[in-house]
């Protein structure tokens, strides 16, 4: 069974701080996606990483796929209250598997 | 472009009652997914359709859950009878179905089910 573990489960920080959240698995995925979900809404795709070692940037967000395609990280620089939400990673293999998410709260 | 539409947004029922959820995917999207998201967890796939064919229903509890996608467009997910443990958010998603594993899934807002 493929499992994705996300850490930390919960993170509360001040506006302007940097943070990194992690997504780890013992399984290899053909690609990995990061989503953000706000209360009462469905997840919204942020990025898809496909190649081992790949780094993608989306404004203040930096996503990295591990060399072995088993893990990924999301780094946010100078977090803002608008970054508050649930960050989910999802690995694509035979089917898409979601992690439990990291709930981020950025205080103004 | 309209997104994925789901109804109802909220449903409260008593256990042993039936319930149905409806999903209208993005126009032209061949692939449709139903997920269940329990509190504090990520979405868990229940069933995936490619056009009108259910290509992965291995996680669907078939004793009480059923789904259909008529004409390869709208879909309904039914639970009969509902149990307390079915309380969750039921998410529908669709994708163009052209890029395989990297296909972007577009999610609807979900239906929050509470079983009393």
B72's enclosing H/E stretch is none
Q: Is there a contact between B102 and A90 if contact means CB atoms under 8 Å apart? A: no
Is pLDDT above 90 for A93? no
Residue B18's alpha-carbon distances to A81, B33, B45, B66, B112, in angstroms, are 41, 21, 21, 11, 15
Nearest CA in chain A to B41: A100
At B36, list the tokens.
Answer: 């269940």
Is pLDDT above 70 for B98? no
Q: What is the pLDDT of residue B1?
A: 66
Q: How many domains does chain B have?
A: 1
Q: Which of B66, B86, B68 is nearest to B78 (CA)?
A: B66
Taking the CA of residue B89 and the nearest CA in chain A, the distance in Å comes to 9
| B25 neighbourhood in chain A, CB within 8 Å | none
A72's enclosing H/E stretch is strand A71-76
% of chain A surpassing 70 pLDDT: 98
A59 CB-near residues (< 8 Å, 6+ apart): none
| B110 neighbourhood in chain A, CB within 8 Å | 40-42
Average pLDDT over residues A24-30: 90
Q: Is B47 on the interface with A (CB under 8 A)?
A: no
Q: What is the pLDDT of residue B72?
A: 84
Q: What is the pLDDT of residue A104?
A: 97
Q: Is there a contact between B105 and A30 if contact means CB atoms under 8 Å apart? A: no
Q: Is A58 on the interface with B (CB under 8 A)?
A: no
Is pLDDT above 60 for B67? yes
Average pLDDT over residues A86-91: 96
Residue B44 belongs to a domain with what CATH number?
2.60.40.10
Whole-number Å distance between alpha carbons of A41 and A43: 7
At A85, list the tokens.
Answer: 């939400």
- Residue-by-residue DSSP string for B34-58: EEEE-TTS--EEEEEEETTEEEE-T
- How far from each other are the two terminal CA atoms of chain A, in whole angstroms? 40
Of A92, A95, A101, the CB nearest to B102: A92
Q: Could you list the residue range(s) of the whole structural domain that residue A38 is in?
A: 5-107
Average pLDDT, chain B: 92
Is pLDDT above 90 for B102? no
Band (pLDDT 50/70/90 cuts) for residue B29 is very high
Is pLDDT above 60 for B79? yes
At A74, list the tokens.
Answer: 């999301």
Q: Is there a contact between A40 and B101 if contact means CB atoms under 8 Å apart? A: no
Q: How many domains does chain A have?
A: 1
| A4 neighbourhood in chain B, CB within 8 Å | 42
Q: Could you list the residue range(s) of the whole structural domain that residue B71 is in?
A: 5-115
Q: Is there a contact between A95 and B104 if contact means CB atoms under 8 Å apart? A: no
Residue A12 belongs to a domain with what CATH number?
2.60.40.10
Over residues B38-55, the pLDDT tens digits come to 998 999 999 999 999 998
């Amino acid at each position: 069974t493929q499992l994705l573990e996300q850490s930390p489960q919960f993170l509360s920080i001040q506006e302007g701080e940097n943070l990194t959240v992690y997504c780890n698995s013992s399984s290899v995925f053909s690609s990995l996606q990061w989503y953000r979900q706000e209360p009462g809404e469905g997840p919204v795709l942020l990025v898809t990483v496909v190649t081992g070692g790949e780094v993608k940037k989306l404004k203040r967000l930096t996503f990295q796929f591990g060399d072995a395609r088993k893990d990924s990280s999301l780094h946010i620089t100078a977090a803002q209250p608008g970054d508050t939400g649930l960050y989910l990673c999802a690995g694509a293999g035979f089917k898409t598997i979601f992690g439990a998410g990291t709930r981020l709260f950025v205080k103004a | 472009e309209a997104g994925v539409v789901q109804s109802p947004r909220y449903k409260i029922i008593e256990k042993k009652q039936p319930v149905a959820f409806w999903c209208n995917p993005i126009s032209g999207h061949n692939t449709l997914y139903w997920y269940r998201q329990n509190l504090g967890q990520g979405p868990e796939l229940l069933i995936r359709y490619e056009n009108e064919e259910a290509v992965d229903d291995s996680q669907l509890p078939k004793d009480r859950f059923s789904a259909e996608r008529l004409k390869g467009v709208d879909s309904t997910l039914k639970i009969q009878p509902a149990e307390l443990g079915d309380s969750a958010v039921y998410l529908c998603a669709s994708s163009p179905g052209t890029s395989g594993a990297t296909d972007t899934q577009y999610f609807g807002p979900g239906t929050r089910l509470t079983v009393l």
